[in-house]
Amino acid sequence: MSLEKGRQYYQYERKDLLALVPPSAKKILEIGCGEANFGKAIKERNPDVEYTGVEMDKASAQIARQRINKVIEGNIDILNLPFDNKYFDCIITLDLLEHLADPWQTIKKLRPLLDDHGVWVVSIPNVRHYRVIYQLLTGYWDYTQQGILDKTHLRFFTFIGMKEMFAETGFKIKAIGRNIDATNILKIAHAMSFNLLEDFVTYQYYLVLEKDTERKTTRRLHKS
């Protein structure tokens, strides 16, 4: 994540996603943990959890060390983590993959660390959201400090693109959640269309992934 971000950027709690992390998870790895407010909430729920975070912002990493068991400082794009295969039963990446130069390669690198019965909890912004489409129709693509068009995002995903990325890297989707962000008129239209507008009113997708043990990862080159 960019070091130019304001401090608030590293302080989000994301308590709306706590339910996606299995209470049975004992060893958890969060990439891009910020100040570890999410990890702190998990530890409050179950103090016995061994919670490890990876964070490249030095100030945030220092705060995180007071809240979780271990923090590794650095860029996950180039880090090799010192853990045995299948060490973790839950990996967490909240609004992180879109910041990476090559999320496909990073997912493949981290996949062996996840137990075969573990889960990967992901949140990713949806570039097919109606506000982005409206900008394109009016000739704009304006980067912002945060949000779907965050100026530090290197990758942009639709739901189809997300599914393809995880399939390529050896995962399948176990559960799907959505952060619906729309005007009241659009919400009514969405309901009346029997959810046909779902992709257009979804601001973020919340996914729980599990290993697809019957499918090997595929090699694919992605230009920066």
Greatest CA separation for the chain? 52
Taking alpha carbons only, the member of 128, 143, 165 closest to residue 2 is 143
User: What average pLDDT does the chain have?
Assistant: 89
State residue 188's pLDDT score: 75
Nearest 5°: the CA angle 83, 84, 86 is: 110
pLDDT above 70 covers what percent of the chain? 88
The alpha carbon dihedral of 50, 51, 54, 55 has a sign of: negative
DSSP string, 17-81: GGGGS-TT--EEEEES-TT-HHHHHHHHH-TT-EEEEEE--HHHHHHHTTTSSEEEES-TTT---
CB of 173 closer than 8 Å to CB of 124: no
pLDDT tens digit string along 47-80? Answer: 999 999 999 999 999 999 999 999 999 999 999 9
Lowest mean pLDDT among 27-36, 104-113, 182-191: 182-191
State residue 223's pLDDT score: 39
Taking alpha carbons only, the member of 152, 146, 153, 149 closest to residue 135 is 149
For residue 1, pLDDT beyond 50: no
Contact partners, residue 135, CB within 8 Å, separation at least 6: 141, 142, 149
